[in-house]
Amino acid sequence: MARPKILVVGAGFGGVGCIRRLERRLRPDEADIALVTPFSYQLYLPLLPQVASGVLTPQSIAVSLRRSGRFRTPIIPGGAVGVDTKAKVCVIRKITGEIVNERYDHIVLAPGSVTRTFAIPGLADNARGMKTLAEAAFVRDHVIAQLDLADASQDEAERASRLQFVVVGGGYAGTETAACLQRLTSDAVKRYPRLDPKLIKWHLIDIAPKLMPELGDKLGLSALKILRDRGIEVSLGVSIDKAAPEEVTFTDGRVLPCRTLIWTAGVVASPLIATLEAETVRGRLAVDTRMTLPGVDGVFALGDAAAVPDLSQDADGGALCPPTAQHAMRQGRVVADNVIATLRGEPLRPYRHKDLGLVVDLGGRDAVSKPLGIELRGMLAQAVARGYHWSALRTNVAKTRVLTNWMLNAVAGEDFVRTGFLSRTPAALRDFEYTDSYLTPDEIRQHTGTLTARQG
């Protein structure tokens, strides 16, 4: 008799945490496991702004799965583009473009999220995200290129537009991105004697009335003061009305000459979730407290893609676990235990958690942190933030690389080298996050119908 097949989709915090738990707790003859991911690494997302600013090298936060302990699960190199829950088949687009069908008995959906966008004219073509390793590398190259081009230009209008930078999104990603890249340009401009440092302007805007409201009023105001003291113009209650290649129009009517628009205004669940044609909450798959999909056999979901009830609050009132790495890692382990319990005919357990707090690294000696509800600022907050991130990296190789990069940056300062990555290609959000790769429900049924006919 064939062993049950467990298919895990996504190599983020939740997916990798699930795989590692399954490998440790399942007997070799109990089930077959496979992982679907286009890249054979786990990306440590919270440190992407430090890659964009050059503090860390890209490979420092791309934690190789094949070097991660005793990782032995086969990897299918591609992305899941559809799921037929009736046929129990996942449709996968390999990195070659070939579309294949993968049967499963139990599927764990941890595909993560993509950048949330709105129907703002010009946004999709002129904004850059901060969600993937490639985007961080591209943004770094692009920002340094603006300094090079401004330095070489004799046109004052062109120079002004190249030296203004806009980051949209006052959450963790946007705040840390603006803070880290502002440090990069303020250090880099010292190497450009023809450029006036006063011409370099960073703008952080958000439609919300507060910066990082999850931190609370006091720490949020502390972070706001740090940014403004550095010269970053923070505008709250404001968003983008229109984006063009050389200017950005704000909703308050301001028109800013600008060739760098970085969009970090939230995330939405992977488009894969829509292919299941199941109930969603705020775009995330509506699962129960055990992270199973009600009424559908063999489907588990977690992380950014799942609306997991938050039992630490009023779950009956609709409270959901926020889409953070902290939750995804823990949910991955609970889902693994529940998959094993399903195989063994044992009861499943709900997901409960205790919040460990939040950390925000603003670069240099600046940070605000709230571990276990304790508010910290300055160097102590920085030590807590970096200590947390360092300890969360899965391999000793990754920890060594990150620590070495931090020490080198502290001693030698920034470097301002462009790699030439996509230097002649106006890359858009969809080019990095492959949001146009997913199949429609009819296309999925066409693929899985063919598979079912062959099996029959």
- For residue 417, what pLDDT band results from cuts at 50, 70 and 90? confident
Distance (Å) of CA 326 to CA 13, 44, 163, 333: 8, 12, 36, 12
Whether pLDDT at 451 is above 50: no
Beta-strand pair 299-301/106-109: parallel
Beta carbons of 291 and 332 less than 8 angstroms apart: no
Whether pLDDT at 456 is above 60: no
φ/ψ (deg, to 5) at 159:
-60, -45
Mean pLDDT, rounded, for 52-74: 88
Across the chain, mean pLDDT equals 92
User: In this prediction, what percent of the chain has a pLDDT beyond 90?
Assistant: 79
- Condensed to tens digits (0 to 9), the pLDDT of residues 276-330 reads 999 999 899 999 999 999 999 999 999 999 999 998 765 455 789 988 888 999 9
Beta carbons of 281 and 272 less than 8 angstroms apart: no
- Condensed to tens digits (0 to 9), the pLDDT of residues 115-139 reads 998 999 999 999 999 999 999 999 9
Distance (Å) of CA 22 to CA 6, 329, 339, 395, 413: 9, 14, 8, 18, 42
pLDDT in the model for residue 332: 97
Domains of the chain by range and CATH? 5-115+268-354+433-455 (3.50.50.60), 117-211+218-265 (3.50.50.60)
Mean pLDDT, rounded, for 245-250: 96
Beta carbons of 212 and 173 less than 8 angstroms apart: no
Task: Say what the pTM is.
Answer: 0.92
Alpha helices in 270-375 (DSSP H): 325-344
> For 141-145, 162-166, 292-296, 410-414, which range has the lowest pLDDT when averaged over its residues?
410-414
Report the alpha-carbon distance of residue 86 to residue 276 in Å, rounded: 10
CA atoms lying within 13 Å on the CB side of residue 234: 26
Report the alpha-carbon distance of residue 139 to residue 173 in Å, rounded: 14
Distance from CA of residue 132 to its chain's centroid? 7
| Burial class, 417, CB count within 10 angstroms (exposed 0-12 / middle 13-18 / buried 19+) | exposed
Mean pLDDT, rounded, for 257-267: 94
SS3 content of the chain, % helix, strand, coil (to 5): 40, 25, 35
Whether pLDDT at 347 is above 50: yes
